[in-house]
Structure 1
Amino acid sequence: MNTDPSAQRPDPDVAPAGAAPDVAPLRFRQVMGRFATGVAVVTTVADGVDHGMTVNAFTSVSLEPPLVLFCVDRTARFHDMVLDSGLWAVSVLTEGMRDVSRWFATRGHRVDGRLRAWGHRRGAATGAVIFTGAVAALECRTYAVHDGGDHSIVVGEVLDLDTPDPSGKPLLYYEGEYRGISWA
């Protein structure tokens, strides 16, 4: 019997038998699109200017302390704004907020003035925009940032939370399209 611990570890430079072939980005997107997600907008204030981005990579992480995370593309303008600010809010959108999602999903928009089209308030803990029609809202302080390939995984400590529209139905995203939910 070989008791050398190094002999029991796999060689990191050798792919294991049966390893998956290269995964094409388009195919990966198509397959992952089969996982229904909620839709949220993350907002922050940097140098007195509002910034926001639609996300569907958002989830809870921990109860103690209360942590959530979202993922942001490293090339997005929002990436540096939210990391520099360190404070941000998340508004989980309702079915009737597809226009909000689409607008914040399009790169290059300036937020100035556009917020008047949607009911919102400023979070007391962060000063970031929270949409009053959201099914849930959280205000966070950046707790950690992790490498996630071409994205950063931003973990936030929840400072405050609310359910602005507790009777609203959540907006879902599935197979590249917005969907609603029907209650059985």
Structure 2
Amino acid sequence: MTSRPDPAEFRRVIGRFATGITVVTTVADGVDHAMTMNAFTSVSLDPLLVLFCVEKKARFHRVVLARDTWAVSILGEDSEAASSWFATRGRSWDDQMEGWATHRGELTGAPILDEAIGSLECRTHAVHDAGDHTVVIGEVLSVGAPADRGPLLYYQGAYRRLGNG
């Protein structure tokens, strides 16, 4: 029997897989909630499904599981500040979106970042336990591509842009 891989080594190796960066948002009791996610992917074309993985100890976990709709803002190469802000633990609960230009999704009411290069509105389709995270699968209700810029990427623990190595 082989030994279990070291979690630190796993993290170093998996960091070699480049990911895009999103901000997932929802609104509960009139309060906007948001969290940066790079564990996001498309799942199916029929029906249209996407998924994200949220850490169980994150405040956003409880909120997004209590809501059945949410939105995704796909971040562009000039959105590093937004990604960093919405990844900050312990930021103010009541005014998370203050200072960020947003508009409301027509179907979900969730905030969508105006600087996003793509957006999705979704309804929770399924939720799966996955160790210290929960996998949330969403049915896509609407899509938008408001800007045509390159993506913001995350690779080996740092923000990257296409063409910058």
Please tell me the TM-score bracket, short chain as reference.
over 0.9
| Alignment correspondent of 2:127 | 145
Q: Which of these two proteins has the greater Rg computed from alpha carbons? A: 1
| Alignment correspondent of 2:14 | 32
Question: Structure 1 114/80 Cα, relative in aligned 2: closer, same or farther at 3 Å?
Answer: closer
Decide which structure has greater strand share.
Answer: 2
Percent sequence identity over matched residues? 56
SS at match of 1:126: coil
| Alignment correspondent of 2:151 | 170
> TM-score, normalized by length of structure 1?
0.85
Aligned length: 164
1:49 to 31, 45, 49: 31
> TM-score, normalized by length of structure 2?
0.94
* 4+ aligned runs moved over 6 Å, structure 1: none
Letter of the 1:73 partner, please give it.
E
Letter of the 2:32 partner, please give it.
D
How many Å separate the matches in 1 of 2:160 and 2:108? 30
Unaligned 5+ segments in structure 1 are: 1-18
Q: Which has the higher contact order (CA 8 A, sep 6+)?
A: 2
SS at match of 1:140: strand
| Alignment correspondent of 1:120 | 102
RMSD: 1.4
How many Å separate the matches in 2 of 1:116 and 1:79? 21
Would you say the 8 A contact 1:169–1:180 is kept in 2? yes
How many Å separate the matches in 1 of 2:95 and 2:88? 16
How many Å separate the matches in 2 of 1:180 and 1:112? 32
SS at match of 1:96: coil
Unaligned 5+ segments in structure 2 are: none
